[in-house]
Amino acid sequence: MLSIRNATASDTKLILDFIRKLAEYEREPNAVVATEEDLLRDGFGPEPKYRCLIAEWHNVPAGFAFYFFIYSTWLGRPGIYLEDLFVLPGMRGKGIGLGLLRRLAQIAVEENCYGMRWQVLDWNQTAIDFYHGLGATKMDGWDTMRLIEPALSRLARGESEE
């Protein structure tokens, strides 16, 4: 029996465990430096920076959806950005991922969102096929750029100016 609930401050250990397991699946097991303290501070303080759904199968945690709100200037409406979606390997095939996506879609509709957006690894054809089956489409024509340290601080200090 599937149930889906909003994560609370007492779920940070569970959330971090899901984050780590997803990173292993994405072949980046050492990429996770986040701590429980980070997740508690940023998700459950006065201005939460993310939200999280926990899926339980017969009351046992089985998966999670980690998301936050983005905004479309063209549409003048928010959107949901799904950062992580993960179901434990032993819990697959029960519709848990679909259940999480469905709940997110309901939240999107309730919150006046134009839709949902997320990234998928380009080699993960199983996931891509699943998303296409729901009516999702790939956004073509745009490249995603990222600026991180040390270039971020260099730019902040004005040292990138030629």
Q: Copy the structure tokens of residue 15.
A: 């959330």
The type of residue at 26 is E
Copy the structure tokens of residue 95: 């519709």
The helix-helix angle for 12-25 and 36-43 (nearest 10°) equals 110
Known catalytic residue: 131?
yes
Q: Which stretch binds its own copies (CB under 8 A): 3-11, 53-61, 63-71?
A: 63-71
Residue (14 or 34) nearer to its own copies, CB: 34
In the bound complex, what is the minimum distance in angstroms from residue 94's beta carbon to its own copies? Answer: 12
Closer to its own copies by CB, 8 or 24: give it.
Answer: 24
User: Residues 84, 96, 97, 100: which binds its own copies (CB under 8 A)?
Assistant: 84
Closer CB to its own copies, residue 19 or residue 62? Answer: 19
Exposed e or buried b for every residue in 75-94, given b needs 16+ CB within 10 A?
A: eeebbbbbebbbbbeebeee
Q: For its own copies, which residue of 7, 39, 54, 62 counts as binding (CB under 8 A)? A: 39
